[in-house]
Amino acid sequence: MKNAFLALSLFIGIFVRADEGMWFLMFIERLNQRDMEKLGLQLTAEEIYSINHSSLKDAVVQFNGGCTAELISSQGLVLTNHHCGYDAIAELSSPESNHLQNGFWAASKAEELKPKSLFVRFFVRMDDVSKRILGKVNDQMTEAEREKAIKDEIAVIEKEQSEGGKYVVSVRSFFQGNEYYYFVFQDYKDVRLVGTPPSSIGKFGGDTDNWEWPRHTGDFSMFRIYADANGNPADYSPNNVPLTPKVHLKVNIKGVNEGDFAMILGFPGRTNRWLPAGGIDQNVKYAYPAWVEASKTAMDAMKSYMDKDEKINLDYASKYARIANYWKNRQGMIDALTKFETAKAKAANEAAFDQWAQKKKNRKEYGNVVSTINTYYAATNEKARHDNYLSNLLRASELGVISRTLGSKLLEFDKASDKTDALKQSMLQTIDEFYSTLSFPVEKDILMNGIWLYVTKAGYKMPASFDSPDAISQRVATVLAKTVFSDPEQLRAYVRGEVRIEISKDPLFALSQELIAHLNATTPEMAQMQADYARAYRKLVKGLRESGLSEVQYPDANSTMRLTYGTVSALPYDKRNDAKVNFYTTLQGTINKYKPNDEEFDLPQRLIELNNTQDFGEYADKNGYMPVNFLTNNDITGGNSGSPVLNAKGELIGLAFDGNIEAMAGDVIFDDKLQKTINVDIRYVLFIIDKFSGARHIVDEMTIIR
């Protein structure tokens, strides 16, 4: 723990608001414990995070690499968001058994459904290795030399801590390369679907209500972790048994009140709270507008087919939802960062930093930091616009990246000296899986429309063969007409040895390679500029911490477990919300939004009947209404979706799933007056499971605090 305390002093500076910050668990005793106790916390730091004993962190997992989930029973039952389980639910659905649309609850463990690939990751421990890693570098190194030295040492540390492969170990950079910590994880890969509400509940409000308050969404789903007979991770087997976790959360259905303590543990994905003014300006004016436009073009191409074909709708539901979420997020970021004049405030702070750097001779290392950063952004603004048109095209298009996916695997197969029957069967299965959820007409439109947008709007250096925009549509049409990837049966015949195909010369494969290579291309001048920028950004963060000029005292999120704390918190009165105080919403408010047969606001008749008869069971609030969502002032971001919201005793009162529109700027700044976390009230979760779905046996697994 010596290294941990050496780093501790670097975290201490200007005290920040209780509701701002995504904090390392290993520092909470010294940095956050007293402040949390003032807000009402009744737990010790050891009860939240312990290396040697079971603690709350053992009940929280990263869900499938992108969300958070929590264990809520002694039988491995896991709760997360509906949108986090969306991929798995869609995969397990068909037009005949549409679990996404109709919902699903396993009547017994034998009926639980196993997706092809789904895992949860337990956080075991972490420690500071800053001194060890930074001891391998010096200021005389080039950025490339520095990166190699750090990478080599990271590989040694990860091998040391893995205990022969038992654990997954990741060393992460913090404060833009000024500190390093390792994290030890354990993965469980047999995870099965237990239940989900219908999408009319789990996704109620759709894109219209996304990032909005008041909210009325039952955004939850449930899974179960399975292990071998000894509780160890194991590949799927019918002989596996439900995991008995070290800790599972107690579920409190007493309800929440404004001002109640609220703590969230989870795996926030990414923030950029240290981003310089030039970076904010670049995103708002160049990068994000291109992202928004490219995303909308892909969404429109998908939607025109999804509305006409139920199988296509299921196959593309997850991709569409993912793109739509970021589409709205990026537009919201543009609006919020512009409204808050964030770049202007950052620029003023950087000007103050420049003055501080000039005051003493021993601060010479900071002298050119801001000018170097600004030079980089001025030189890359147009490139950022270009790259976002192209990268979002490739993010949406399966055909655009086919040289990295199916095409790459076919090339590996082609190079194999011994094409055994087993290898052929594996390749045939890969082809079947690739095309099982792919519609070539949909993908054709995504690619053609995306490329046309790119060549007409990017306004930057194009790939060599894209010099004539007027001819590009014809070229892409010809490529798609001639590619073997439009005919999966031809690919199967190739694998069986019945025909010969030169995959590397296929026109679509070549086009994909060209697009990816162009996105990744750089020049020696640009590489040097990027290296100078990386060094300057690292020194800017170091200097801002040293000078105390930055209000941010915590590291940016990077998918490592963090704690955020605050209170249940209301927004000003809003006539759209029927609640007496604007920190919660009700089932009646949900019914008030009901639009029969509407894609976003339709509701099951069963839910309407339960509301009409006030049949809420034990889950009603003491004031008689059925709660749905509530607000806290916790500081979260993407990756926190599904995170447990805990009361002062560490009991589950809800799960986080979104933020309000003002929170869209939260990746860069935190506004304690406006930004809120939107949570599903745990009482609504249990009401939907028990009263609406008739799956009382699931509730009976839990430890309920009444």
Question: What tens digit of pLDDT does each residue of 285-309 get?
Answer: 999 999 999 999 999 999 999 999 9
**pLDDT band at 663; cut points 50, 70, 90:** confident
Give the pLDDT confidence score for residue 603 in this predicted structure: 98
Residue 468 banded pLDDT, cuts 50, 70, 90: confident
Mean pLDDT over each residue of the chain, to the nearest integer: 93
The one catalytic residue in 219, 445, 635, 667 is 219
What pTM, to 2 d.p., does this model score?
Answer: 0.89
As a whole number of angstroms, the distance between CA 158 and CA 167 comes to 9
Beta strands, E only, 507-635: 562-567, 584-586, 627-632
Res. 607: pLDDT tops 90: yes
Q: How confident is the model at residue 19 (pLDDT cuts 50, 70, 90)?
A: low
CA dihedral 615, 621, 626, 627 (to 10 degrees): -160
pLDDT at 226 over 80: yes
Of the residues 19, 73, 83, 190, only one is catalytic, namely: 83
Q: What is the pLDDT of residue 1?
A: 37
Across residues 537-551, what is the average pLDDT?
A: 93
The length of the chain is 706
**From 170, 641, 643, 693, active-site residue:** 641
SS3 445: helix
Positive/negative CA dihedral, 131, 135, 139, 141:
negative
Annotated catalytic, 248?
no
For residues 163-190, give the mean pLDDT: 96
CA–CA dist 698, 696 (Å, integer) = 5
Q: Beta-carbon neighbour count of residue 307 at 10 Å? A: 11
Q: Percent of the chain at pLDDT above 90?
A: 87
Determine the average pLDDT of the residues in 460-487: 88
Q: State the average pLDDT over residues 49-67.
A: 95
Q: Which helix (H) or strand (E) holds 279?
A: helix 277-282
Average pLDDT (196-205) is 97
- The answer to whether 495 touches 501, Cβ cutoff 8 Å, is no
Answer yes or no: 50 catalytic.
no
Lowest mean pLDDT among 270-284, 451-465, 468-482, 638-652: 468-482
Please count the helices (runs of H) and the strands (runs of E) in the chain.
Answer: 26, 19
Q: Distance from CA of residue 8 to its chain's centroid?
A: 28
3 state SS for 39-61:
HCCCCCHHHHCCCCCCCHHHHEE
pLDDT of 78-104, one tens digit each? Answer: 999 999 999 999 999 999 999 999 999
pLDDT of amino acid 293 = 98
Stretch 485-500: mean pLDDT, rounded? 96
Torsion, Cα 262 267 270 275, to 10 degrees, reads 50
pLDDT at 565 over 50: yes
Using only C-alpha atoms, the chain has a radius of gyration, in whole angstroms, of 26
pLDDT higher than 60, residue 213: yes
Backbone phi, then psi, for 4, in 5-degree steps? -60, -40
DSSP one-letter code for 583: T
The sign one gets for the Cα dihedral 687, 690, 695, 698 is: positive
Q: How far is CA 700 from its chain centroid?
A: 31
Q: What three-state secondary structure class fits 658?
A: strand
To the query of whether residue 556 is one of the catalytic residues in this protein, the response is no
Q: What is the C-alpha separation between 602 and 595, in angstroms, rounded?
A: 5
